[in-house]
Homo-oligomer: A and B are copies of this chain.
Amino acid sequence: MKTNGILELPDDSVGIVQTEYYTFAAPPEEMRLVSGRMLGPVTLAYETYGKLNGRRSNAVLLLHALSGSAHAAGFNSADDLYPGWWDLYVGPGKTFDTNKYFIICSNVIGGCTGSTGPASIDPGSGSEYGLSFPIVTIQDMVNAQYRLVRHLGIERLLAVAGGSMGGMQALQWCISYPDMVASAIPIATSASLSAQGIAFNEVGRQAIFRDPNWKGGDYYGKTKPEAGLGLARMIGHITYMSERLMHEKFGRRLQNADLFGFNFESEFMVESYLHHQGIKFVNRFDANSYLYITKAIDYFDLKADYGSLAAAFEKVTADFLIISYTSDWLYPSEQSREIVRALRAGGIHVGYTEIESDTGHDTFLLDDRQTQRNISNFLRSQFEKHG
């Protein structure tokens, strides 16, 4: 048994890992963003698990969703009670098997967990960027990650993989750097966010904008807009679950009573759950980053950026495994099938699995055996082909 000082860790845990930081694009060599604005220096937080092999052919890049971080697996310190966000998938013998693969998880620019974002110090002004931080796109996030991957001495990734916004990054990687990606695993994602998705993101942003503590984004060192950010998270969480999952998990059960209180206290279990999610989130996430990252998701549109999906995928050479979930109403399967059709029309090899699931959009974060088995098998075949 391994231990992190508090918990006995199972043998398939990556154990204690340190987040690392790579800084590049120092002035005058700032990074040019899609908007035309320049950003630099740029720091990306990342973690790695497993070892790069001699041929440098076993590197897998994990890409996270809206609220994720570089910390995908294991524990950052002996005091941590919870492991990284994809710990169920990353470790010795797990789906992303750290005995075989060199796993990299990269954070995104615009984020708030070690990478350059609105809470970072603007070298021009000497204080936090706040809303003067430039709008970043998924393409910008990937361009920054490209610098990191090259810095790690990797010329070709065995795979890029991620769910939701992570899936958008995986698609963008194959398009922006086709020679660097042997295979891709976009999960529960889309080639462009739907009108409904934009709508939910906008009400989340409005919850933050309307919190008087937000102060135009200039709240660092002052009271944080926790009410707004917490509310945005509550809204988001409803969309990550299916109606069925909410019914089974909470139904109409009350939290601490047998009878209605006839007041406005939160009394249904589902209300308590959402409040808990909101409170947990404001302790670890920056409200301005929530604005920037949701905006990057809203802007993602391969059809508009390249004229058509066919044009977007023209130079893509990667093999694909695409996964969607029947109960995911935020990124419905039809949006994955649209990607599958466009890739296949371009002669790309695509495996597509629509997994029967009651657990909604966030299924890829859960201990879902079908997701794990599909990815495992696909990675093994890719390693046999390219490794």
Chain A residues packing against B (C-beta within 8 Å): 35, 37, 131, 134-135, 192-196, 198-200, 202-203, 205-207, 209-212, 227-228, 231, 234-235, 238, 241, 243, 246-247, 249-252, 260, 262-264, 266, 268, 270-271, 274, 291, 295, 298-299, 301, 304, 329, 332
Contact = CB atoms under 8 A, between A and B. Distances in A.
Given A199-B238, A252-B304, A260 B299 contact: yes
A195 B251 CA distance: 5
Nearest to A301: B252
A234 B271 contact: no
Contacts of A243: 194-196, 329, 332
Give the interface centre of A266, A271, A329 by most chain B CB atoms within 10 Å. Answer: A271
Contact of A270 (B135, B199, B238, B291): B199
Contacts of A291: 264
Contacts of A202: 234, 266, 268, 270-271, 274
A203 B278 CA distance: 11
Contact of A203 (B238, B247, B264): B238
A183 to B, nearest CB: 29
Contacts of A37: 262
Given A203-B231, A231-B206, A196 B246 contact: yes
Contact of A134 (B35, B262, B299): B262
Contacts of A200: 238
Contacts of A194: 243, 246-247
Contacts of A198: 252, 268, 270-271
Nearest to A239: B238
A247 to B, nearest CB: 5
Contact of A235 (B134, B203, B250): B203
Contacts of A246: 194-196, 199
A329 B241 CA distance: 13
Question: Which residue, of A131, A193, A195, A299, has the highest number of chain B Cβ atoms within 10 A?
Answer: A195
Given A205-B264, A262-B135, A274 B329 contact: no
Given A198-B268, A198-B271, A260-B299, 17 more contacts: A134-B262, A135-B260, A135-B262, A194-B243, A194-B246, A195-B246, A195-B247, A196-B243, A199-B246, A199-B271, A202-B270, A202-B274, A210-B227, A210-B228, A212-B212, A243-B332, A252-B304
A256 B195 CA distance: 16
A252 B203 contact: no
B274 A199 contact: yes
B135 A238 contact: no
**Smallest CB-CB A-B distances: 5 pairs:** A195-B246, A35-B262, A135-B262, A210-B227, A196-B243
A216 to B, nearest CB: 10
Contacts of A247: 194-196
Nearest to A243: B196
A241 B274 CA distance: 23
A260 B271 CA distance: 36
